[in-house]
Chains A and B, each alone.
Chain A
Amino acid sequence: MNIIVCISNVPDTTTRIKYKPGNKDVDYTGVQWIINPWDELALTRAIELKEAGTVKKITVITVAKADAEPTIRKALASGADEAIRVDASPVDAWNTALNLAEALKNEQFDLVICGVESSDYNNWSVGGMLAEMLRIPSVSAVTSLQIENSKPIITREVDGGRQQVSIKLPGLLIVQKGIAIVPRIPSMRGIMSARTKPLKVVTGVSGESLIEIVDYEAPPQKSSCKIIDSENLEMLAELLHTEARVI
């Protein structure tokens, strides 16, 4: 089975986000870039399945300019076999999905796996759009993936429980927390072998943005914490009423 894992190059989750003057764009100066954590878990699961012998090849794909290559090399060092970089600056979820779809039309695959969202723009959209554009079935909210007799056994989260489903191949899975537990850390051998693994660059499709960012606003600063003695319930009730205004 050949698996494609879509990865996104995102700012480290501990980054203090700043905006450029005018608040229409993020200031990326000095930002450390990482693989989107949900995509990293997807990749980790693909690697685990490859190590178990049920997956033959893992290809990672991303839509990004050349400055994302360290992130791609990290995916290769972690255990992906090859990589595709669609040379474009994605402008929105639709445009990202369109670029991925165009590049994947020329690839042989059985499963595409996408993280549920990217940790920067949180659109929750690319996976579903991509499946539609590729005209392949998709399953969302996937928390577990096994492969038996070349068939994926998928567990997804539903309200109040879990659901087990299968999917016609080729298909697409939108995975979330639970798909893998600990993201794979590349070994030295992996880092050395990443040098020589193929990284194909394909031309992207330029697309007009369907969504315009009008304004960014930082979340309000967290107010300081007040610690009240556990014996002093009267004061707790009063503060919840007068300051927090929740009762």
Chain B
Amino acid sequence: MNFEFTGEQLMIQQAARDYAQRELIQDVIERDTHSIYPERHVKALAELGFMGMMVSPEYDGSGMDTVSYVLAMEELSKVDASTSVIMSVNNSLVCYGIEEFGTAEQKEKYLRPLARGEKMGAFLLSEPEAGSDATSQKTTAEDKGDYYLLNGTKNWITNGNTAKTYLVIAQTHPEKGHRGINVLLVDRNSPGISVGPHEDKMGMRSSDTHSVMFTDVIVPKENRIGEDGFGFKFAMKTLEGGRIGIAAQALGLASGALERSVKYALERKTFGKEIAKHQAIAFKLAEMAVKVENARHLCLKAAWLKDQGKPYGYASAMAKYYAAETAMEVTTQAVQIHGGYGYVKEYHVERMMRDAKLTQIYEGTSEIQQIVISRELLHLH
């Protein structure tokens, strides 16, 4: 048992912290208020190597481990979860999916620019009637011999407009149910693709969320990842890792809110003393700290298992579930500790509370994580 990070992991954590605290913080409130995509920061983070952190250097990635990824995600999410979700989707869904399951040609063409961060990727699974129930895909990829003909609508797509590469999950053989689903690499500029308006969200307001519509989009056969019918398995495998990214994001929201609360509680005075010296606040902070530390341990355990090549689906579901619930609880308490100041934008915690809500919903709702955890626990699969 060793709880020490390596020198490199600490350096990555510090680099992410420095970037977040010096740069990302600067216009975060304005970006949130006006739903402004953090273009400058995405570019800068790409130049630092954060957009393809875990991709092998062979494909222009940074070759870092999942533990480093968790550390970086936490630090960036302490300041701006809208930016960190862009990084999370590109890293742990799109780059991971292509690197793990793609062919050498697919990696050469699609992975390399994604790993360099020159292009962003998007993962298109959710549909108007298929969110948590990913088996009910209505989008079709009709087999036309040399190519697939793609038709349908995808919802809630992070990087939906800015991405240049889409990973689209679609049904080819409806009679086979989830075993008939495929995953296709689709160029954003292909004829027949239209992107809906930017979603006006409660939180994560500056991430780029859209619906994407496909009308008779031709996708070459060589753009299918894996065997015919591999799509559902691909999505589930990829989401297992994706959960670690979102869990680390939720952790960052919680730990960032805790840090802000500690600082505020040591400065703000009521009844002649700092509010931190009132037991009602001190105990609240203690409770928050324990939960943040628990969430951190779960995230790092899942990341460590993945780095060791061991099964991590159970651990990543636990990390995602617990960190998301903790993020919601801790950010809500942070607003409470800040009182009236917590309810205005200037003090950041209200934004963190709105952002935290989404971590309970996307990349598998908390209830879906409970299904994953309980099925594993009860051997029901």
Contacts and interface: CB of A to CB of B under 8 A. Distances in A.
A182 interface: yes
Contacts of A49: none
B202 interface: no
A178 interface: no
B53 interface: yes
Contacts of A187: 15, 47-49
A161 to B, nearest CB: 30
A9 B113 CA distance: 38
A186 B64 CA distance: 14
Contacts of B19: 185
A183 B18 CA distance: 9
B197 to A, nearest CB: 35
Nearest to B53: A188
B11 A74 contact: yes
A104 interface: no
Interface in B57-104: 57, 62-64
Contacts of A77: 11, 15
B15 A185 contact: yes
A195 interface: yes
A101 B271 CA distance: 57
B interface secondary structure, majority: helix
A186 B15 contact: yes
Contact of A188 (B12, B22, B23): B12
A105 B163 CA distance: 55
A189 interface: yes
A11 to B, nearest CB: 14
B22 A182 contact: yes
A225 B11 CA distance: 38
B10 interface: yes
B135 to A, nearest CB: 37
Contacts of A198: none
B340 interface: no
B8 A191 contact: yes
A66 interface: no
A interface secondary structure, majority: helix
B18 A185 contact: yes
Nearest to A32: B14
A73 B47 CA distance: 20
B62 A74 contact: no
B11 A70 contact: yes
Interface in B1-58: 7-8, 10-12, 14-15, 18-19, 22-23, 47-50, 53, 57
A73 B57 CA distance: 21
A89 to B, nearest CB: 21
A220 B269 CA distance: 18
Contacts of A182: 22-23
A183 B15 CA distance: 11
A213 to B, nearest CB: 28
A113 B217 CA distance: 60
Given A70-B7, A70-B10, A224-B269, A191 B15 contact: yes
Contacts of B57: 192
Nearest to B64: A188
A192 B12 CA distance: 10
A189 B49 contact: yes
A224 B266 CA distance: 12
B15 to A, nearest CB: 5
A191 B8 CA distance: 7
A191 B48 CA distance: 10
Interface in A189-221: 189, 191-192, 194-195
A70 B7 CA distance: 7
A192 B48 contact: no
Contact of B7 (A73, A183, A185): A73
B7 A188 contact: no
Contacts of B64: 188
Contacts of B62: 188-189, 192
Contacts of A192: 8, 57, 62-63
B146 to A, nearest CB: 40
16 contacts: A69-B7, A70-B10, A73-B11, A74-B11, A74-B14, A182-B23, A185-B19, A185-B22, A187-B15, A187-B48, A188-B12, A188-B64, A189-B62, A191-B8, A192-B62, A194-B11
Closest 7 CB pairs of A and B: A188-B49, A188-B62, A187-B48, A185-B18, A191-B11, A187-B49, A185-B15
Given A70-B11, A192-B57, 17 more contacts: A70-B7, A70-B10, A74-B11, A77-B11, A77-B15, A183-B18, A185-B48, A186-B11, A186-B48, A187-B15, A187-B49, A188-B48, A188-B53, A189-B62, A191-B15, A194-B11, A195-B8
